[in-house]
Amino acid sequence: MFMSQFLSVFLIALSLAMDAMAVSVSVGLACPGSAVRQGLRLGVWFGAFQFAMPLVGFALGMALSSLVEAAAPYIAFALLAFIGGRMIWDAFRPEAGEAEDLSCLSNGKVCLLAVATSIDALAVGVGASLMGMPLVASCAVIGVTVFVLSFLGAVVGRLLGQRFNTWAQAAGGLVLVGIGLKFLLEKLFW
């Protein structure tokens, strides 16, 4: 029984981690600086939000979760499109060659990305309680999985970004916009 629940939680964690990993790859592509430092930064932010969101979802209860679930794709699209659009804009500005190494994105923007990639985890908290899964242990598995995959995504993205520079930043922005669009299209058509 325990192994079956763990496997279920781990598969949920992997599915939740895919968007965070894709965003981490695109940020790694676009942002100058240390791959390890950037990976740790994104891993901590994304892992913490993915850990916390199911707890919040559980606290909100089933009544509010349907409202949040209905709005989540629109919120995620708006946040990702805004940040991705800024990355594309910044890639082609004349002063774009003067890369500012503040790990590229401010903590506020990283926080918005963490919210955008973890908002779907609110419903997981409700689902975990209905499935009789241990909530805190489930959140820990999710948070650790997201941390590891986000870290790896940022490192891989940074290694690729060093080779392609300005175009990598634009590609990173396009990936963010694309992920946001995916959220929106899934809501509208599926």
- The span from the first CA to the last CA of the chain, in angstroms, equals 33
**Domain containing 60: what range?**
16-189
The structure tokens listed for 11 are 């598969």
Is residue 63, in this structure, part of any structural domain at all? yes
Is residue 2, in this structure, part of any structural domain at all? no
HEC-encoded secondary structure of 17-67: HHHHHHHHHHHHHHCCCCHHHHHHHHHHHHHHHHHHHHHHHHHHHHHHHHH
Is residue 5, in this structure, part of any structural domain at all? no
The structure tokens listed for 73 are 């794709």
Written as tens digits, the pLDDT of the chain (190 aa) is 567 777 878 888 888 888 888 889 888 887 777 888 889 999 999 999 999 998 887 777 656 656 666 777 787 788 778 877 877 787 777 554 444 444 577 888 899 989 988 887 877 776 665 556 678 888 999 999 999 999 999 998 888 776 666 666 677 777 778 877 887 888 788 7
Is residue 3, in this structure, part of any structural domain at all? no
Contact at 8 Å (CB) between 23 and 88?
A: no
Is residue 152, in this structure, part of any structural domain at all? yes
pLDDT score at 66: 64
Q: Which residues contact 67 (CB under 8 A, 6 or more apart)?
A: none
Is residue 7, in this structure, part of any structural domain at all? no
Is residue 179, in this structure, part of any structural domain at all? yes
Structurally, the chain folds into a number of domains equal to 1
In tens, the pLDDT along 151-161 reads 999 998 888 77
Is residue 78, in this structure, part of any structural domain at all? yes
